[in-house]
Amino acid sequence: MAAVTLRGIRKTLGPNLILRGIDLSLTKGEFAVLVGPSGCGKSTLLRTVAGLEEPDSGTIVLGDRDVTRSPPRDRDIAMVFQSYALYPHLTVRDNLAFGLKLRGVDPKEIASRVSEVARMLTIEALLDRFPREMSGGQRQRVAMGRAVVRRPQLFLFDEPLSNLDAALRAQVRVEIKRLHASLGATMLYVTHDQVEAMTLADRLVVLRAGSVEQEGPPLEVYQRPASRFVAGFLGSPAMNFFNGSIDATGRFAEAPGLRVSVDPARFATLPPGRPVLIGVRPHDVIPDPDGAIDLHVEVVEPMGFEAYAHGTVGGVAFVARLDGDAALPRPGERLPLRVHASSVHLFDPTTERSLDPGRS
């Protein structure tokens, strides 16, 4: 049974069309991540699910109830905000208990649930502090605890990690994943950070300008992006793109300084001479003296276990990932590279959709 079903959600704010008819369905226990650049409508969509915004049209079904017009309190959801939104005048204990008290839960029950959650998130020592007396990481935990203690059927996360430093972010990421595993709850998570998106999601939903650009398991989305936008958005450093065409044989795609073979399993039907947008991820190239990608190296960034070579191919900026222990090229050198046919992505230069008939 679907835990969340969104059908044709449209929303305007003033003159701006924010959501252009979103359809989405999550199964029970699924962890879905809404990802996209800022302004793509992902937060608005999340707030619509929460009931903080009312859609202009479309329906929202949670479990088997149509909640499109219900206020947030009738939706049995919990939300973790980017700013944590802890109640400044209440202690951690009261912050956690706030929602339960409003629902008239028995005080004994509240106490036991609060202490259980505090143990789970190791915030027992903080229970009598006020929000202003805690670090950002601690506040973040409390904010999660406040959601967990309610045992809702759906958790909503609105960029919950973006105010943390990098190390803490990685740590809490793992914790959220663990939490999801132990609670088995349905979660909808909004982020603009592709690492969070890739690592957390059971299902990745890429939003662009108020529409779903692509959705699916994260690896599938990463490996077979449906558009140049998705391809460029996921992966770091970002995919390299070239304007080129299919050669006369139909087996290669060419651009100045570059010639890559086309996977016949994916792009069998492309006629020779067809203009294409060629995409190659930095991680998919291998140095090879016979390689047909002619990289003119300008800068090399050794990172230890790997290195990035920045330069140009046929005058177009290009980044290549190299093994860190290999002999690294020097600036000014030429480095021939090759790429496996299965790692070559081809897009229509005008629509920017993938030319892979299985995608698009």
Partner 1 sequence: MSRRTPWWIELLVHAALLTAVAFALYPVLWVVTLALSPSGTPSPRALPWPEAFSLDNFRAVTLQHDAAGRWLFGRQLFNSVFVAVATAVTSVALATPAAYAMARMRFVGDRAGMRVLLATQMFPGVATAVPLYVILDGLRLLDTRAGLVLVYATTALPFAMFQLRGAFEAIPRELEEAAMVDGATRWQAFFKVVLPAARPAIAVTCLFAFMSAWNEFILAATFLSHEDAFTLPVALQRYVGEHDAAWGRFAAGAMVVSVPVMAVFYAVQRHLVGGLTAGSVKG
Binding residues vs partner 1 (CB under 8 A): 47, 50-52, 71-73, 77-79, 81-83, 85-89, 98-99, 102-103, 146, 150, 156
C-beta closer to partner 1: residue 17 or 90: 90
Q: Choose between 83 and 171: whose C-beta lies nearer to partner 1.
A: 83
Return the structure tokens found at 343.
């790692």
Rounded Cα distance, 62 and 59, in Å? 10
For residue 88, the minimal CB distance to partner 1 (Å) is 6
Beta strands in 29-123 (DSSP E): 31-35, 57-62, 65-66, 77-80
5 vs 82, which CB is nearer to partner 1?
82
Give the nearest distance from C-beta 207 to partner 1 in angstroms: 21
Minimum distance between the CB of residue 194 and partner 1, rounded to whole angstroms?
Answer: 24
What is the C-alpha to C-alpha distance for residues 216 and 201, in angstroms, rounded to an integer? Answer: 9
Q: Which stretch of DSSP H or E encloses residue 299?
A: strand 293-302
Residue 57, token pair as written in the block: 């049209």
Give residue 89's Cα distance to chain centre. 34
- The DSSP bridge partners found for residue 17 are 12
Nearest residue (CB) to partner 1, 108 versus 132: 132
Closest alpha carbon to 11 in 216, 189, 210, 248: 210
- CB of residue 174 vs partner 1: minimum separation in angstroms? 25
Alpha helices in 155-227 (DSSP H): 166-183, 194-200, 218-223
Which is nearer to partner 1, 80 or 307 (by Cβ)?
Answer: 80
Sheet holding 65-66, edge to edge: 16-27, 2-13, 57-62, 65-66
Least Cβ distance, residue 155 to partner 1 (angstroms): 11
Nearer to partner 1, 93 or 146 (CB): 146
Q: Tokens in use for 165?
A: 């430093």
Q: Give 85 or 209: the residue with its C-beta nearer to partner 1.
A: 85
Please state, in angstroms and rounded to a whole number, the distance separating the CA atoms of residues 172 and 175: 5
Min dist CB 52 to partner 1, Å, is 5
Smallest distance from partner 1 to CB 160, Å: 12
